[in-house]
Structure 1
Amino acid sequence: MLSKEEVLNIFTEAKALLTGHFRLTSGRHSNRYMQCAQVLKFPEYAQKLCADLAAKFQGQKIDIVVGPAMGGIIVSYEVARALGVPSIFCEREQGQMKLRRGFTIEPGANVLVVEDVVTTGGSVKEVMNVIRELGGNIVGVGVLVDRSNGAVDFGVPLHAELTMDIQSWEADDCPLCKEGIPVVKPGSREVK
């Protein structure tokens, strides 16, 4: 198992922890942003972090790993590789999270849901709904970074490589906006 210091070193070396004024996918604002794509662009980091994440689910029967596009695709692939099971992903079609490309989940299949970063857990919850509608059994959620500091509850075991308390504010209450600091929207999804 990787220590918190080892995980932080990987994120630091990859220049993945950004500071500034950011608009998150949830619509909230923050002075820090975790850009996991900067870590996942290095195959050796992706493999190391995801193998460690997979080890946290050791002993559980997992049939398939599912992540949301975009951030969860590489995480799903690498965790599934470490577990020796298939990897698929959900993606948006007309704003709705779905399985596409011929991907399926057999009723009763034990599914591990993974993601790069969670703040409110919205994308993960959408993926979980898709899996449940298809009769899948969700055994847990694995993430590289839990920005909620453990506050988000998926109703199943949650394991994170890194748990951080990164402050965020509603846009109306953002002190950075009040200071007139321009806001940036990183990431792949539009703001809610």
Structure 2
Amino acid sequence: MIDSYSWPEQAASKREHWLDFVIEHDVIGFFEEPITLKSGKISKWYVNWRTATADVFLMDQISQAVLDFVDAQGIEVDCFFGVAEGASKLGVLTQYKAALTSKAFAKGSHTLAMGRAKPKEHGAAKDRFFLGEPRGRVLVLEDVTTTGGSLFACLAQLKELDVDIVGALCLTDRSLNEAGHSTVAQQLHTQDIPFYAMSHAGQLLPRAVAKHDLDEETRAQLVRECPFLTEL
């Protein structure tokens, strides 16, 4: 079964540190009553990276974790590019830090790329779609994937412009099916695009439930919503 690539075993300590970071900063939370997500799915829980990524101190740690993950996976990247607009800041900051530590760092060595949420009506493609065009081997970053709609749209646009996409990476993947496999990874496999997830629902929900000491009924609701969790 096709699935996302996660932290390799030799980076297990960094994986555990990352999962603890996600829980510590309340990226995972719970609703008193189930709500309908943008995807149309009814859910009792949420993933929200907006607060953490609005904090410069935390963003420094998040972007460094992305670089650590990429290094552990051995992904060769020339340009980090965030899906507009949710991951734009992450893409820019990660690219900036990667460039600063590169032995080849010099004028013209790295591009600081950012996509426009809404393309301009006129001008060259590099200006209509981007504030800085991605160059070289591009890794696309996303904060959360549920259905993957925003990520898929971004990838389709980049492919139309012949961008060399080496993969897509998300901070948290909640697109798990009943068997616990990533539906986003399965769809991207058909396009020959590797999908990397630094964390996923199966890892995070048990930790978040324990932190918030949820009652038995709420735990049962979560198990019904997420069949890949046999118990909480």
TM-score (norm 1): 0.71
Q: Which residues of 2 match residues 75-154 of structure 1 at below 5 A? A: 75-84=90-99, 85=110, 86-92=112-118, 100=129, 102-105=131-134, 109-149=136-176, 150-151=181-182, 152-153=184-185, 154=188
2:113–2:131: 8 Å Cα contact kept in structure 1? no
Bigger strand share: 1
> Higher helix share goes to which structure?
2
The aligned amino acid for 1:56 is F
Alignment partners' CA distance in 1, 2:165 and 2:30: 34
Compare relative contact order (CA 8 Å, sep 6+) and give the higher one, 1 or 2: 1
Q: What letter corresponds to residue 88 of structure 1 in structure 2? A: M
Separation in 2, partners of 1:49, 1:161: 11
Where do 4+ consecutive residues of structure 1 move more than 4 Å?
none
Q: Give ranges in structure 2 of 5+ residues lacking alignment.
A: 1-10, 100-109, 121-126, 206-217, 219-232
Give the number of the structure whose alpha-carbon radius of gyration is greater. Answer: 2
TM superposition shift of 1:99 = 5.5
Q: CA RMSD in A?
A: 3.0
1:128 and 1:136, CA in 2 relative to 1: closer, same or farther beyond 3 A? same
**Separation in structure 2 between the aligned mates of residue 62 and residue 132 of structure 1, nearest angstrom:** 17
Shift of the 137–101 alpha-carbon distance from structure 1 to 2, 3 Å rule, reads closer
* Deviation for aligned residue 1:160: 2.1
CA deviations on 1:31-67 (whole Å, 9 max, x unpaired) are: 1101101221222322222222223333544232222
SS at match of 2:87: helix
User: Shift in Å at residue 148 of structure 1?
Assistant: 1.8
Equivalences, count: 164
Cα 1:138/1:38, change in 2 over 3 Å: same
**1:9-40 deviation line (CA, Å, top 9, x unaligned):** 32333222120123322222211101101221
Length-normalised TM-score, structure 2 = 0.60
% identity of equivalent residues? 22
